[in-house]
Structures are given as structure tokens and as C-alpha cells.
Structure 1
Amino acid sequence: MKSTILTFTGTTALTVLLAASNADFIRSELMGNPTGWLAKSTAVAKGERIVAQAEPAQQPAEPAKKPVVDESALRYFASKGDKARLEAEIARLRALYPDWVPPADPLAVPENSDRQLEAMWALYSQSKFAELHKAINDRQVREPGWTPPSDLTERLAVAEKRLALISASDAKQYADVVTIGSETPSLLTCSDVDVLWRVAEAFAKTDRLARADDAYTYILKNCTKTPERIATIQKAAAVLGYEQMQALLLLEKTLPDGKPEFEPVLGDLARRFVAEGGKDDKLVVAQSYLDLLRKDVEKQANASDALLLGWHYIKRSDMAEAERYFRTAHDITDTASAAQGLALTLIARKDAREAENVMYRWRDASAEASATYFAATANLLAGEPPPVLDQEVLRRIAAAVTEKKEVRTAEQFGWYALAFRQPKTASQWFRMTLGWKADYEPAAYGLAVARLQLKDMAGVRQIQNVWAGRSERIARVSEPQREKTAYDTIPLPDSTSERADRISRVEPVNRVDADTAIDEVDDYARRESLPESRLSEEPIAKSPRRAVVSAARPAAGCRTTVDPEMLHPDVAIGRGWCLMNLKRPLEAASAFGVALRSASAKIREDAAYGQSLAYLRAGLVNDAAVSATKAKQRLSRAVELQTAILSNRATDAFDAGRYRETVVYLNQLAQLQTERTDLLVLRAYAYRKLNRRADALTILEALAATGNRDAVRGLAEIRAEDYAR
């Protein structure tokens, strides 16, 4: 046995692609002459070979006789001026008879003297195939020995296959399209590019993009009509990916006028490619396509192109460029998409106030738009320090939240109310949030904090019972150090093609503030901060547990209860200092809160300072840290407050058994001042609890050498433990 190698070229190249889906492809490929069926074609699969087992070698057969080519159809189509069918017939005959040369003048072909056959060709040219079948059958009945020319029957079969292929394509029966194409290779010629397009589409729709790419490549390598080539690029772009399209575009030709043939559709192609980049951040879109759209935006004020660029850049986290184009699109035409994109970039750079304003109009446009709007509102309410918002803005946000039952923004309303010392309002928001989502722990924790501030201990215990075993911070909310929940805005995800399926979330977290403070305060009632007061300057009483404001001589002007909201800010500052001397720190904090609204920067500074001191005295260390940031402080005061707050935090963390946190606070404190002896002892004990025995011994031995009793005792305890082992 020896192998016979059949090399397929031309039409065969595309047929091989089709045949991979059809077991009968060899039979269809070998119809007529197996060496090729389109003279103009260049094989996509050039050099690809199919090896078939041949029979044992036999004696050479006699040379075959030259076949007789029926050219009657050529004359008929030429006589009718049907150029398209004439070209299709020439292509078909070339496929069947590779050595055949078409006549220079088809009209010179001898006229068929069979009038009935001429009528049949007329029916064929008019696509009246049912009538043609009837005419053939009728003649065979009248003339039992008559048979129609093979040329006519073959063309009729091909024409009917073409109708079947188009029908299957229109019905989206793509597997049938591939099958019919593989069974009828003579359909796949440049004379009928529509069929080639349909076959390529069928490959794409059946998840064989590589074969679809081959089909489009075949057209661009073999077919020459510019309109068809441009249409091929457009159709390919609808189904193929960016990289495949770049390879197809390399097959572009230069027109006689010197222009690239695909130039008329280059803008649309650029938009398609940039849109793909807006969905896939790993896709590297050529800068030339981005520049093409950029120029269009600048010259034509094209909002849609600006949006494409905006989504492309936001997918790559280039928020500055994204905001530039979204703002351009928004300024040209205020649409939901433009507003949404702009809002996302504004949230990313922490301008939630403008983001809410931009999105409010479009909050109900879609699920994505609604998600973006509530991302903006949640971030706005969670701002640090809490922003002072117009009542109209608060009302419209509240209405939208209650209408949509938006859990996260409702929760943030609760914390926002707490920030402005409105625990009753906060409690209502947290309860409403839990009514919408009973298992939402952040709202339950917020409700516990609000009830604690309302001194509703029974309500706090009720929440603790419900959440027992499920939330450690709720269980510990009533302990001496009450962590005020701070908020961080979590950036939006990569999408949205979701384009906003990716929403900015705001969650409460217990944050360790590196820039907050302290341990010991010198003189809280400073004469220069309140010239009209008559506070005495007594020394601060020091305590190893917590810095405490010592009592000065009480002032008679604040013994009666007065709602500080009724006072002018410049008057409230005096009442705050007066209340501090009466050891009523929470009332003083409220008075200082009113004073923070003063038009005077000096009074606002003193009010923030005083409120921070008031919270320190009340043991609300984190509230003190927040108050310290409400107005710019002079450096000495800022360091003073930071030192006091960090010192208190370190001590409270140690008492609560959070030893790692204790060391963190002490490390932050060490950056502000030389560590005091009592805090060094605290650090050594924290190291001991963390099993850092060597570090603890180093500190205790040094302090014990100075006679520090706490250090001597700690050193003795460690050595006793060593002896017991």
C-alpha cells in the first residue's frame, strides 16, 4: 500500500473548514475536479494536505477523454444581460473543469435550438424552481427518453441548496447553514459573497470563531469588490474580537486615489474597539483608535464618543481622564449614562456631595443608576468630618432611601445623626434599617450605640441578647471604652458592564486613628481662650488611669439647665467652659458643639478644643479624637490632645485585654513625645501578655534599676514564673 496525497487549494480551502463539521466533506470536496473550484482563490489552508490510503498500484489507465462543457447557460444569461448569473456560471464551470477557458463572447456560443429547454432556462433565471421541476417532469412524461442537461440539473440543485442555506440562516439554524455549505462547495464563491458571509456568521454563532475568522480572511484574500470587502470588515467586527480584527485589517488595500479602502468605516471600528476596552481592562486598545475618538469629541462635541472614552478609562482606574470625558459628555447632553459615569469618578475622589447632586435626577433611570446614586448618598453621609448638609438635600435623600428601602444609606443616616448628637433620630433610622433587613449587624450595633447615649440600658441589653454569640462589638458596646464607629469609603469595583454592578459600599469599622492622641493635659481652662471667664488656673490632677480635668472654682452662671441650641455660638463657648468647671462634661460638649457654628475662627478653635476635653473627661476617647479635628488647632494643642487620647486608648485597650492594640497606641504615642515611665511599665506588661518575654525584661530591668516600684514588682513576677517552671 502506498499513500496518495491530495492537495486542496482555492475553493477547497474554505470547504476543508466546512468539512470539519461534516463527515461527508470528502465526498462533497471531490464533486467535479478535486484540485480546486475557484481560479481566483488563494488557499487559506495552503499546503494543508489530506492523506488517504490508495489501492495497490495498478497499470496506468488510458488518458481520460476531454470532457464536453455545456456552455448553453452562458449564452442564455449573456443574451438576457444577466451579468451576475453569467459570472456565477463561469465560476461554476471553472470549478468543475479547471482546464476550461470561458469564451471571449458568450453570445458567440451556438444557440440552443431546443425551445423547451430555453424555456426551462428562463424559469431557472427567474428563480421559479417549482415551475422548472414541473416543466422537466412534464417533458419526461411526454418524451420518456428525454433527460435534462446535467448542467441544468446541477445548477437547479445548487440554487435550491442556496435557498435552503439562506432560509436556515434567516431562521438562525446555524448548524444547518454549516452543513449545507459543506455539502455544496460550489456555493462558496466570490460571485455570491452573501453566502460566504452567512457561513462565516454560522461559524461564529456556533462558537467556532477561529473558523469564522478563516472565512472572513478567505473573502478578503480572494474577493476584489471594494463595497463587499468593506461590508466584510463590518460583519467581521460584529462577531470577532479585537486581536482577530487587527489581523483582518492588515489585508486592507489602497484604492486608486491613494486612500485606504477601509477608511470610511474606521471611525465605527474605533468606537467598537474602545467599547470593548470599556468592558475588558486587560485589552490594550491601540492609541490611534483612542486618538480618533478624542479628535471627534474635540471637533464635533460628540457626547457618545466622550462616553466611550470615559468608560474605557474608568475600567483602567484612570479616574482623572475618565472624569474629563464624562464631564464633557454630561455638559453636552445630561443623560443617565453620562451622569452615572461622572458620579462614579466623583465618588472615587471623595466628592460625594457633587456625585449625589449629579445623580439625583437619574436615580430611577435603571438599577445601575439607582445603585450609583445610593453609593453617592452613603459616602456623603459617611464623610469625616460629617458634612453640614442643606435641609433640602437631607429631605430628598431621606425620601429616596425610604422609597427604595436602601439599607446602607439608611444606616449611614443613623451614624450621621449620632455625629450631630441626635441619638433619638439615629435610633429611628437604625430601627427602620433593621425592619428592612433584620440580620444587618451594622444597624444593630448602631442602635445599641444610640440607646447607650440615650441611657436606655434595658434597650442595650435587649440588643445584646438578640445578637449574643454573633457580634463581639455589640456584646462589648457598654464597656467603659465605647468605640465610636468610624467609616471608610470602599472604592467601586471594576465594572460596570455591567457598568455599575460594581457599587461603592460604606461599612462601619473600628479604626485605629494614627493621628489622634493622648494621655495628659495641662490646663483645660485656659484664660486666653475665654477672656471673660473667671476660671482659676489650678493644676491638673494626674491619674495613672486617665487624665482628668481638675475642678476650678465653679461659676454661678451655668448652674441652671439651658438648652444650648437656644444660645448664640459666641455665648455658648462661655457656658461650655463653665459647665466643665462644674464637672458636667456631656452638657459642656453640647455647648461647645453650638459654639462650633461661630463665624469666628478663634471661637471655633476653642470650641473644638473644649469639646475634645469634655469627651476626655466623660471617657469618650474616640469622640474626643473626632472633636479635635472639627477646627484647626495650634500645634501645641494638637500634640497635647493627641498625647492624651493615645494614652487613654492604650490604657483602655490593656484593660480590655487587647494587648497588640495597646502596643500600637504606645508606638504612635512614642512618635509624639518621650515615653513616660508609667507608659513604659504598661508596654512591658503588654509585651509579657504577648509572650514577648525578652522585650518585657529589657524594659522592666531598666526601670527597676531606677527604683520604680511597678517595674520591680513586674520583674519579680516574671522571675517567679521562671522559677515555677
Structure 2
Amino acid sequence: MNLRMVSLCALVAASVALASPARAQGLGMPTRMPVAEPATLAVAGAPAAPQQVQVDESALRYYASQNQTARVEAEIRRLQMLYPGWQPPSDLHLGMSVNPEQPLWDLLGAGRIQDLRAEVETRLRVDPTWQPPDDLLVALERMERRARLIAASEGGNHGAVVDIVEADPSLIVANDLDVMWRVADSYGALGNREQALALFELAVRSSANFDQRRVSIVKALVHVAPEEARGLLDLARMLPPTPDAASLAALETDLVRAEVGAFLRDPARTPPRAEALAVIEASAEQGRHAGDAALIGWYYRLSGDMMRALPFFELAVEQGGDTDARVGLALVLRDVGWRAEAERIAAAPTEDERLLSVFVELVAHDLLAEPPVPGSPERVQRFAETVRLLQSGDGAEALGWYAYQTAQFEASKAWFEQAMSWQPTATAAEGMIRTLYREGSRDQARQLLAEESRRFPTLAALEGDLAERRPSPQPAARSGGGGGGGDSRVLRAAEAQRAGRSSECLRLLDASGSRSPEASLIRGWCLLDLQRPHEAMAAFEAAGAGPRRISGDAAYGRSLALLRIGQSFAALDAVRGAAVSESQRAEIARAVLADLANRSYQQGQYGEALAALDRRREFAPETRDLSMLRVWALHGMGRTAEARQLVEALDRQLSTSETRRALATFNQISGLTGWR
């Protein structure tokens, strides 16, 4: 559609009421048919009686009822041309219409299209010879096209909007800014910026006041360049009525605000001018507009200047900014590394999914750290509840890996399964496979690996790498005990051990004939992986004669072997005074205390079990299985209310058959004793 033609049609339609014949048949209504008059007899010598002509004044009265003076005058001229000698009715402007079609025009004026059609159908049933006025049909068709245009616009169907208006350019009229704005927006969305700008200019010229012009200019900023929008502002300044200084200043600020907002939506645009940023910063600091502080904060964050963004987001929150400001503040705090402060903002009660997602991301990062940093049990519980609320695959996966690292395999399987149902990924599948293998379901793990490898080919690399890994030192390039061939096999044995191929590792060591401390240490790890702890303990003892770096790892390995055969306190003695790391020493302490808690509980020494669990908490967060042990130890000591409270929290975090059975037991106790 030619742009000049659109503008011309719009201006003509605004000033003249176009009366064009309509085809009622196209609307499902009968067309006007000639009706034969009854035959009459002429009387000889009598003068012919003048024929009375019925003039259709319905459109005229409708225009008059709507105070559309220009259309009233145009309709009067049209009727006088068709019916010479006809004069307008004297009651035209007195609202005393007796036109039988007036109720139809009233329905049309109210936009009640369906009611109008129903009324037309009713009249046709009552009087088949009646025909709706042509002007009414034309106006009805136009109103329906306008309704279709608005529906297409609301649905984001910009192509349909353009098709409708190009089929009927008369829809663009000076007094219908809503349609003009919608069509301009659709042209802009389709990339026709020139046509969009022309329509926004027409809207500015057609506006009755400066407020309407301001809306047109702000809407134009979404699609046109800032300098083009400034051209519209210059035009608005010149048109009457002349705006006051305050209105102009407000529009200038709106223009700058929209300029920054447009850049945030599309960073490929020309960045805002420095003067524009200064205007928004000043407005933000003076608190003149609630959203300005957050707006400038988002601009600086997008520009990568987090330290300039931070004070503006803080200011936005202080000024009572909306959730958008809190989201920005949490993200910037995270970006600059102040994760605890970011979590404090994101963890505040909210239903906003953006803030909840930031909270999930922050906690997931800690759970996936090495070692995991879960924080308090309440934090993990809140995290699990939020993960379920958002159905976050990433969050469920983080919980799965956390449970895996802390040997809570039932919980690990449940969370990996949940992650795969919400958001299947290769890492979630890997977690499930490794969990099955670690808990002893090795055939099931291999079957799942074969199935998931078809969906995630990268999982094929897990083949032969499923065994539990233990740290092993890199053997020296040459050891003092053998030839070059033997050393090569020791190196290959170390690689096999790290890959979980423990049997191959032992074959290579046997073939090497090496009895060096390095080879003995590698042999110990391979034997431990093969569940042969007594032989592993002997190998680690042999490796203990090596240099400090090897003897420390050997002491750690021997301690783990002692744990496997149930000698917890001997395991603790094995690392006392040895060159082991603090993390290794803590791991042994955790294992020993967990074993002590289990043994004490089995012997009915519930107080000692709780004491061991409390002592273990000093080294690491409590695993789920130990929390359940605490539940039953508390129950054994008669502290049933505490036990129930703990198991309810565990069930909310992850409901399993174990927690449900415990709750059922406590419910039964409550019913029998009246205890609450």
C-alpha cells in the first residue's frame, strides 16, 4: 500500500462521510429487491395525484445523534441531490427521532455487533420484505473489519493486521488513534520502519491534545531510531495547542527513558547518548520516577559495569521498587561475587519465578562445589521445595549430585529420575547410571547406559569408567626397581585404575613385577575398588615405606580398608600422625563417627548414637540416612515430638517410602496414646 495513499484516505475519511452501496448478501442478509405496486385505475378527467416518496433518513439521524456535524451536512447534501425539494426534518437535532431503524444504529454505535445481527434477523423473520439500510451494512462491515484488526493485533499476528488495513485503508481515520497505533506497531514489527514512522507522524498530526501526541511518540520509539523520534517531538512542539514547559520536559524525559529501554530490548541498537543517561540518573537520584533507578541499573549491567549498576539497584529497592529491581540487585550481587548477599535477596518470600530461579542457581552452585557447601538443613529443604515448585531440571540434578557425593543413593536416584522427567540431560543420565553402579546395581547401570547412550552419545565414554574412583598418585617416570618395560606397565596400570578398570590394573602390575612403593599404592587402590579390603590393606602397608607423598596416601588408603572390614577405631589410628590432608582426615573421622552412631543404635545406646551424630556434624552436614538414624534414636529416647518434626522435614524435602513409613508409625502412636 502506498504510504501517501494511506494518509490521504485517512484524512478524507476523517472529513467526509463516504456513503457507498453495500452488498447485504455478503453479510448473510437479503439484498434489496424491487416490489411491484398494486394496479390502479385512472379516472378520466381527474388530475394525477402526486406520488409520495419515502426518504431513508436513518443514517442522517444517526449522525445527528452522534453529533457528527460534518457527516450530517454531507448526508443532507446527498439526500437533497437524490430527492429535489426534500428538506431536513425540523426535529433532527432535538433527539426526537421516530426512525424505526434508529435502535439498529444505536446498537452499532455501542459496538454490540452480535446483538445488531440478532435484531436484523428478528426483523427479517417478522417482515420478510424489510431490508436493512445500506449505510448500516457498510458501517457494520467496517466495524467487523476493525474488530478483526484489533483481535489480530492483540494476538501478535502483525501480518494479518497489515493485510486487513491494506484491503481497507479507510480503517485508518484521524479520530481512531488506537487503530493507527496498532497498524504502525505491526508495520514496525514486520521491519517496515518507514511505513511505521509515517503512521506515527499521522497520529501526532491527528491527535487532539499534547497527551495523545506524547503517547504516539513514546510508542514510536519501539520501532524508529531516536533521531526520528526527536523529529516527531519537534512536530508535536509546533502543533496547536502549544504544550507548556512542564509537559515538554516530561516528554523529553519519556523520550530518554524509552531510548534506554529500547536499547535494553535490543542491544544491537545505537547505545543511548551520554546526555540521555545523565537525565535518567538525575531522575533516579531525585526519586522522581519509581522505575528510573532500576532502568539505569539494567543498562549498566548490560554494559558489563556491575559496580555502577549495583548502587542504582540498591537505590531502586530502597525506593520501594518492584520485583524487577530485586531481580536486578540479586543478579548483580551474584555477578560481583557477593553470593551470600545475592541469596539473601533471592530467598525472600516471593512468587516471582525470576527471583526463585536466582535462588536455585545460587544454591545449586554450592551443592555442586568440591566439596559441597549445603549450609543448613533448612536451606537445603527450602531449595528442594523451590526446585519442585519451578520443576527445575538443573536444581533436581544438583540435588542428585549432592546426594551422590554424600552417599545418599536412594535420594540421589529419586532426584536424578526427577531431573530426567523435567529436563533430560546427559549429566542427569550419567548421575543415575553412576548412582546405580555405586549402590551395587551394576547390571542395571550398564543397561541404562546402553539405553541412554542412544539419546546422549557422549555417555558412551562411561563404558569401563563406572567403578568408584579413588585418588592415586602419578607414578614416577622411572622407579628404582625395574626396567623400562616394567615402568611402562606401571604407568598403564595407574591409567587403568583411574579409569575404573581395576582387573586390568592388577594384570599390568603383575606383569611389571614391580614392588616399588608407587606400584604398591596403585595395587592397593585397585584391590579396594574390587572389594578386597584385606589384600588392599597389605598393599597400602607396603606402600607406606615410600616417600612422604606416597606414605600419606598409603595411610589414607589403609584407613579406608580398615573401615571396610569394620575396624573403625583402627582406621582412625591409621591416619593419626600420618601425612594425610585435612580433608582426608575429616573423611575418616566422618566415617568412623557414622559407624559409631550405627553401632551404638544397634546396641540400644541411643544417647551415644546421638552424641556421635552430633560430633560428626562438626565435620560435615548430616546425610539423609544418618538423619533417619537420628529420627529413630530420638524416638528410642522418648523424644518422639522431635523425631516426628525431623522426619516431617525430611519428607517435605524428599518423600520416600522410608519417611512415609516413619510418619505412619508416628501417626499410629499418636492415635493410640493421644499424643500430639
TM-score (norm 1): 0.43
TM-score (norm 2): 0.46
Of structures 1 and 2, the one scoring higher in RCO (CA 8 A, sep 6+) is 1
More helix per residue: 1 or 2?
2
